[in-house]
Amino acid sequence: MMTDYTDIVVGAGSSGAALAARLSEDPARQVLLLEAGPDYMTLDSLPPDLRRGTYPSFVTDDWGYTATVARDRVIPLPRGKLTGGSSAVNTCIAFRPDPLDFQDWVDRGNDLWSWERVLPYFNRLEDDRDFSGRYHGRGGPIPIRRYARNELVPLQQAMLEVCRGRGYEVVDDHNKPSVTGVGVMPTNAIDGKRISTAIGYLTEARKRPNLTVQAQTTVNRVVFEGGKAVGVEVFPTAGGTGTTTLRAGNVVLSAGSIGSPAILWRSGIGPAAALSRLGVKTVVDSPGVGSNLSDHPIVGVSLAPRPGVCDMANPVCQVILKYTASGSEDFNDMQLYMFSQIDITTFAKEIQQVVDGSMVFMVPASLQTPRARGRVALTSADPTRAPAVELNSGGDPEDRRRLLDGIRLAWSVANSPEVSEFAERIVFLDQRTVDSDSALTEWL
């Protein structure tokens, strides 16, 4: 058993990589950062699809999760399985939450997470190339920039003009507190390259002798002695025989919203009845572990492009509209995007049945403050088996109402002269469906 570590961080993703880097700033600590996937140590060592920050990567280094949404429909649930986690595969939309989101925590009694208290940490993490002052940071590990107007591809420019023409304010800085309207998105893709937490935080931290990054290592469970976590049980991701226990004074689970509850269940922390059915000894009966899962559902209007419109060399998203759904109690609860191209050979494959060619473009609407909650549950104590994920998207009537509102706005944008000139037709949706609440709900 290893006893040299003061801290073990499980999961080298968006938060785990940053946390391990920060802990290792203290030379008195010996930090072990564990990652189930591979470790690409530099930008140059990344495969091309991971290096490119203008389009998400769902092809390699993915956990392969699926999730059940409304009416038992099963969809892919992409999650990055590599150092950097999902920050190494995502679309590089560098949005901050709204201050009102933090006020909800304060109202529930946790003033440590007030906007005023978290703002310095947002500023500390970023190197904003466009704005300074109270709400922005300089010199941090994650560079942030915004697309210049002359960088916008035609579809993105069309999105901006349509929203402006419908009365939405044009905003220069989406990360200024409580702004609403349409504008270019802040991004952590610099010169077209994705700056994940693995690149931003770990590049310098790796030079410290007290930080060890151990990749291709799957954590089965947390090891307890006398009610205290003293380490983790691990095995090689790629296979091999036997497990190893790694010990530390502190164990931090940072394996994501899917991975962390799965590890806790296998460790005996979760709903006792469910653990018993899996043959796992209960350490702490905690029914909430795996519950209260929340994700922002996104539903899009897809358009078959005219020849030459979609080009995988272009950024997939540059312009975003933030707005409040009609009648909503939540400020800025909706976002509308323009996706310049979607490769339907690797994602949204069902569209291939009705579209000639390999690409569509899309106007998606996304609900940012869903009320519906899902859950993560194990179906087996085998750590190589993926957990069952239920998103329950659209399970709340108010969520469905706001999503209908968003789809109708997306439909309107897609049918505008500025956007429709780029399309041969809209697929999977028609005016009759859009006009009917029941039909559009069924379409969702």
Q: Taking 60 as the threshold, does the pLDDT of residue 13 lie above it?
A: yes
Range of the domain at 398: 147-187+293-443
Q: Say if residue 243 is in the same domain as residue 273.
A: yes
Q: How large is the average pLDDT for residues 339-347? A: 87
Q: What is the pLDDT of residue 1?
A: 43
Q: Is residue 73 part of a domain?
A: no
Q: Say if residue 274 is in the same domain as residue 208.
A: yes
- CA–CA distance, 150 with 139 (Å, rounded to integer): 26
Question: Which of 262, 285, 308 is at the close of a domain?
Answer: 285
Q: Say if residue 299 is in the same domain as residue 222.
A: no
Q: Is residue 317 part of a domain?
A: yes
Closest C-alpha to 157, from 133, 183, 176: 183
pLDDT tier at 410 (50, 70, 90 boundaries)? very high
Q: Say if residue 278 is in the same domain as residue 350.
A: no
Q: Say if residue 314 is in the same domain as residue 227.
A: no
Q: What is the pLDDT of residue 31?
A: 98
Q: Is residue 18 part of a domain?
A: yes
Region of residue 177 (left: phi > 0; alpha: psi -120 to 50; beta: else): beta
Question: Which of the 8 DSSP states describes residue 293?
Answer: B
Residue 239: helix, strand or coil by DSSP? coil
Q: Say if residue 175 is in the same domain as residue 204.
A: no
Q: For the segment 178-198, what is each residue's pLDDT rounded down to a tens digit?
A: 999 999 999 999 999 999 999
Beta strands in 147-295 (DSSP E): 181-184, 186-187, 189-190, 193-194, 211-214, 217-225, 228-236, 244-253, 269-270, 284-285
Q: Is residue 67 part of a domain?
A: no
CATH label of the domain that carries residue 262: 3.50.50.60
Do 250 and 268 touch, CB atoms closer than 8 A? no
Cβ–Cβ contacts within 10 Å for residue 233, how many? 18
Average pLDDT, the chain: 95
Q: Say if residue 241 is in the same domain as residue 180.
A: no
CATH label of the domain that carries residue 396: 3.30.560.10
Q: Taking 70 as the threshold, does the pLDDT of residue 348 lie above it?
A: no
Question: Which of 224, 250, 285 is at the close of a domain?
Answer: 285
- Say what percent of the chain tops pLDDT 90: 90
Q: Say if residue 423 is in the same domain as residue 316.
A: yes
Q: What is the pLDDT of residue 73?
A: 87
Do 444 and 403 touch, CB atoms closer than 8 A? yes
Q: Say if residue 422 is in the same domain as residue 395.
A: yes
Q: Is residue 128 part of a domain?
A: no
Q: Say if residue 333 is in the same domain as residue 349.
A: yes
Q: For the segment 349-377, what is each residue's pLDDT rounded down to a tens digit?
A: 677 767 777 899 999 999 999 999 999 99
Do 152 and 163 touch, CB atoms closer than 8 A? no
Q: For the segment 231-270, what is each residue's pLDDT rounded down to a tens digit?
A: 999 999 987 768 999 999 999 999 999 999 999 999 999 9
Q: For the segment 36-50, what is each residue's pLDDT rounded down to a tens digit?
A: 999 999 999 999 999
Q: Say if residue 261 is in the same domain as residue 392.
A: no
Q: Is residue 210 part of a domain?
A: yes
Q: How large is the average pLDDT for residues 89-98? A: 95
Residue 165 tokens, joined: 């023409």
Q: Is residue 427 part of a domain?
A: yes
Q: Say if residue 219 is in the same domain as residue 329.
A: no
Cβ–Cβ contacts within 10 Å for residue 294, how many? 13
- Total count of domains within the chain: 2
Q: Is residue 111 part of a domain?
A: no
pLDDT tier at 3 (50, 70, 90 boundaries)? low
Closest C-alpha to 383, from 217, 221, 215, 214: 221
Question: Which of 233, 260, 285 is at the close of a domain?
Answer: 285
Do 283 and 391 touch, CB atoms closer than 8 A? no
